[in-house]
Amino acid sequence: MFSATTEYALRVMAAMAMSPDALVPTATLAAITKVPSNYLAKVLQQLASAQLVTGRRGVRGGYKLARPSQEIKLLEIIHSVGNLQRIETCPLGLASHGPSLCPLHRTMDQAAATLIQLFEGVSLKSLVDDPLIPNKPLCESGTLTKLTMRGLATG
């Protein structure tokens, strides 16, 4: 349903949300998210363009969230790398349809509306901070992934 880029963007944002104050190297983020480094670097650039993350290049460089994770909704992350839009007018350009969609595009628009509502209602923070669900994103259960400038430590 979603592209690999969208899945990877959500993973890496979740990874950064677990250590919101640390500047985490791309290589570390790639290891945690299990995404190839080159691919992840491009995803991080898109997230930086959307002002969701800030980064610093160089030996001590890395990325961190640009805003607190409770202020970032999953929808914003999805929009930053992909396309999840309502259908506002006939995709075939039929003049007499215009904004009055046919049953096919009404159904597809309903699907988009449902997903937008779902992802608008979930904050990044809630993904990593849900006391009811024992599993944390990207971490084996019973361990807590700690992101540091030097790499990945679990314990």
Q: Which is nearer to a copy of itself, 144 or 149 (CB)?
A: 144
Residue 144 interacts with a copy of itself (CB under 8 A): yes or no:
no
Cα 54-60-65 angle, rounded to 5 deg: 20
11, 24, 8: which is closest to 146 by C-alpha?
24
Among 111, 144, 149, 153, which residue interacts with a copy of itself (rule: CB under 8 A)?
A: 111
What is d(CA 54, CA 51) in angstroms, rounded to the nearest whole number?
7
Residues in the chain: 155
Q: Classify the C-alpha dihedral 71-83-50-147 as positive or negative.
A: positive
Residue 58 interacts with a copy of itself (CB under 8 A): yes or no:
no
Q: Which stretch binds a copy of itself (CB under 8 A): 36-44, 54-62, 65-73, 135-143?
A: 135-143
Q: Which two tokens stand for residue 110?
A: 């309903």
Site residues (CB under 8 A) for a copy of itself? Answer: 1-2, 7, 10-11, 14, 33-34, 74, 83-85, 91-97, 100-108, 110-112, 114-115, 118-119, 122, 126-128, 130, 133-142
